[in-house]
């Protein structure tokens, strides 16, 4: 009954969803481009594909090492990547070029999902993290296609929410061929809300398997030389509205002690690039944009706006200290392992419930520091700039946590290929 009501509600809401998509597309045209795909009208596939679904840019980045490994392990099966957001889709294209296919995920109505599946002919569906779309899962399962929930995480808050709609969630979980959970706590919560014990394993998080190539190191070193090798550089990554103001306030405090310091700020969503540029200049800070600035950066520039796609990992490597956004506001945080893998100190706000297990492992080994506000962040960064040995030790602890927890990727790829 709940599934029927869910589908009915989605059908009724669909015109308003499309209207909102059109509205967003006025500022970000790619969001409206290819809108037919969201109704299941995608290019037909000549052969079955491995369908990898990552709802947004964070999950798309997390899926990257898995997709690369599947391409190596099963080059005979094409891979189709889907995302719900324009940013996620663009990020996938930047990472993989022509080696995989791309489409927007169909909206979760029975008709859209059915049309999508008929056209792409999935041989397997790999869902990143916790994207439990009822019609997507039910339709795929009825087609006899194995469904894998990979890098699965489930916070206590989400588990309690799912328990309130147990009659809807339990059949979905029992349609999954395999749930590869990040941690024991995640696995326990999946079991509590109805997953079958034989379908749940604890593999760890593939986000620990960050791949920093030699080419990326060279690109990052080249950028750092352009930014200024001797000046302190800190990055505020994946920031949201409501955080940028706090980040800029922290930077002004840092500049009072270290006038040569440079902030690299990277908003989470590209449609906010211009807003953050305007906000920076309104605060009286001198700005350069990554998309425009080339060659050595003038010493009077105080803020460097990362307004390009697909370069965040490289920008981390050009920095001395990282702040990971979505955490000074109640957004739930973003992935801190990319800066940690560069061996640089990592800071976040206290709202990191979306990455609870990862942050706890970093906290246990003093590989991350959580701050309450801009003042705390500024003081912490100033103390590290003033103490190079402490900065180095902090970064080494963060890197050690990443290295200690590597290996989930091999377990996940092996598990998927065995079950194929």
Active site residue 59: yes
Residue 240 has pLDDT above 80, yes or no: yes
**Least confident residue range of 6-10, 38-42, 199-203, 362-366:** 6-10
Q: What is the pTM of this model?
A: 0.84
Instruction: Kindly state the average pLDDT of the residues 13-22.
Output: 78
Q: Report the alpha-carbon angle 144-79-75, nearest 5.
A: 105
Measured CA distances, 133 to 70, 81, 108, 172, 175 (Å): 24, 16, 7, 8, 12
Residue 143 has pLDDT above 80, yes or no: yes
User: Phi/psi of residue 413, each to 5°?
Assistant: -65, -40
pLDDT band at 93 (very low <50, low <70, confident <90, very high): confident
DSSP state of 45: P
Residue 70 has pLDDT above 90, yes or no: yes
Q: In this predicted structure, what is the pLDDT of residue 155?
A: 85
What are the strands of the beta sheet with 303-305, ordered from one edge? 287-289, 303-305, 262-267, 233-239, 321-324, 346-348, 369-370
Q: What kind and span of H or E run contains 146?
A: none
Looking at per-residue confidence, does 384 or 166 come out higher? 384
One fold for 11-205+407-419 and 214-404: yes
Is 357:183 a contact under the CB 8 Å cutoff?
yes
Percentage with pLDDT > 90 across the chain: 72
C-alpha 379, offset from chain centre: 28
Q: In this predicted structure, what is the pLDDT of residue 393?
A: 97
Q: In this predicted structure, what is the pLDDT of residue 13?
A: 79
Measured CA distances, 328 to 222, 347, 349, 408 (Å): 31, 11, 4, 29
Percentage with pLDDT > 70 across the chain: 99
Q: In this predicted structure, what is the pLDDT of residue 348?
A: 98
For 285-308, letters b (16+ CB in 10 Å) and e give: bebbbbeebeeebeeebbbbbbbb
Of the residues 37, 59, 131, 185, which is catalytic? 59
Q: In this predicted structure, what is the pLDDT of residue 230?
A: 94
**What is the C-alpha to C-alpha distance for residues 202 and 184, in angstroms, rounded to an integer?**
6
pLDDT band at 60 (very low <50, low <70, confident <90, very high): confident
CATH number of 11-205+407-419: 3.40.50.11720
* pLDDT digits 0-9 by tens, 333-376: 999 999 999 999 999 999 998 888 899 999 999 999 999 999 99
Q: In this predicted structure, what is the pLDDT of residue 8?
A: 76
Report the candidate in 129, 318, 147 with the shortest Cα–Cα distance to residue 227.
318
Q: In this predicted structure, what is the pLDDT of residue 3?
A: 78
**What is the C-alpha to C-alpha distance for residues 312 and 30, in angstroms, rounded to an integer?**
20
Q: In this predicted structure, what is the pLDDT of residue 132?
A: 86
Is 317:216 a contact under the CB 8 Å cutoff?
yes
Task: Say which CATH superfamily domain 214-404 falls into.
Answer: Glycogen Phosphorylase B; (3.40.50.2000)
**What is the C-alpha to C-alpha distance for residues 146 and 140, in angstroms, rounded to an integer?**
8
Residue 238 has pLDDT above 90, yes or no: yes
SS3 percent helix, strand, coil of the chain, rounded to 5, is: 50, 15, 35
Q: In this predicted structure, what is the pLDDT of residue 129?
A: 85
Q: In this predicted structure, what is the pLDDT of residue 137?
A: 94
Q: In this predicted structure, what is the pLDDT of residue 356?
A: 86
Task: Give one word for 343, left, alpha or beta, with left for phi > 0 and alpha for psi -120 to 50.
Answer: left
Residue 54 has pLDDT above 90, yes or no: no
**What is the C-alpha to C-alpha distance for residues 400 and 305, in angstroms, rounded to an integer?**
30
Domain locations in the chain as residue ranges: 11-205+407-419, 214-404
Instruction: Kindly state the average pLDDT of the residues 180-198.
Output: 94
3-class secondary structure, 383: helix
**What is the C-alpha to C-alpha distance for residues 372 and 351, in angstroms, rounded to an integer?**
9
**Least confident residue range of 48-62, 317-331, 392-406:** 48-62
Q: In this predicted structure, what is the pLDDT of residue 261?
A: 98
DSSP state of 353: G
**What is the C-alpha to C-alpha distance for residues 101 and 81, in angstroms, rounded to an integer?**
6
């Amino acid at each position: 009954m709940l599934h029927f009501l869910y589908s009915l509600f989605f059908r009724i809401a669909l015109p308003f969803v499309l209207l909102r998509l059109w509205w967003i597309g006025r500022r970000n045209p790619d969001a409206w481009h290819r809108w037919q795909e969201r109704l299941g009208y995608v290019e037909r596939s000549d052969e079955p594909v491995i369908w990898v679904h990552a709802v947004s840019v964070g999950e798309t980045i997390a899926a990257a090492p898995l997709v690369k490994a599947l391409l190596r392990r099963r080059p005979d099966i094409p891979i189709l990547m889907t995302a719900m957001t324009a940013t996620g889709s663009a990020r996938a294209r930047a990472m993989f070029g022509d080696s995989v296919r791309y489409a927007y995920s169909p909206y979760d109505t029975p008709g859209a999902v059915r049309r999508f599946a008929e056209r792409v002919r999935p041989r397997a569906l790999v869902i990143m993290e916790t994207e439990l779309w009822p019609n997507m899962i039910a339709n795929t399962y009825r087609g006899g296609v194995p469904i894998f929930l990979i890098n699965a995480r489930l916070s206590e808050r989400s588990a309690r929410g799912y328990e309130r709609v147990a009659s809807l969630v339990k059949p979905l979980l029992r349609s999954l061929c395999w749930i590869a959970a990040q941690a024991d706590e995640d696995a326990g919560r999946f079991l509590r809300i109805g997953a079958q014990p034989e379908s749940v394993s604890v593999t760890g998080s593939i986000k620990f398997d960050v791949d920093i190539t030699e080419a990326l190191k060279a690109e990052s070193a080249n950028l750092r030389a352009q930014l200024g090798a001797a000046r302190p550089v800190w990055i505020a990554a994946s920031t949201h509205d409501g955080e940028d103001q706090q980040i800029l306030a922290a930077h002004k405090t840092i500049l009072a002690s270290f006038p040569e310091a440079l902030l690299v700020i990277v908003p989470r969503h590209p449609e906010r690039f211009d807003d953050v540029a305007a906000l920076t200049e309104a605060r009286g800070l001198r700005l350069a944009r990554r998309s425009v600035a080339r060659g050595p950066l003038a010493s009077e520039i105080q803020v460097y706006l990362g307004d390009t796609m697909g370069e965040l990992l490289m920008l981390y490597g050009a920095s001395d200290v990282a702040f990971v956004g979505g955490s000074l506001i109640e957004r739930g945080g973003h992935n801190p392992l990319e800066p940690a893998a560069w061996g640089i100190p990592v800071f976040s706000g206290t709202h990191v419930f979306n990455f609870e297990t990862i942050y706890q492992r970093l906290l246990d080994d003093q590989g991350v520091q959580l701050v309450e506000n801009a003042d705390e962040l500024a003081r912490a960064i100033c103390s590290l700039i003033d103490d190079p040995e402490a900065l180095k030790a902090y970064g080494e602890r963060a890197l050690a946590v990443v290295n200690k927890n590597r290996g989930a990727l091999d377990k996940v790829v092996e598990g998927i290929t065995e079950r194929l």
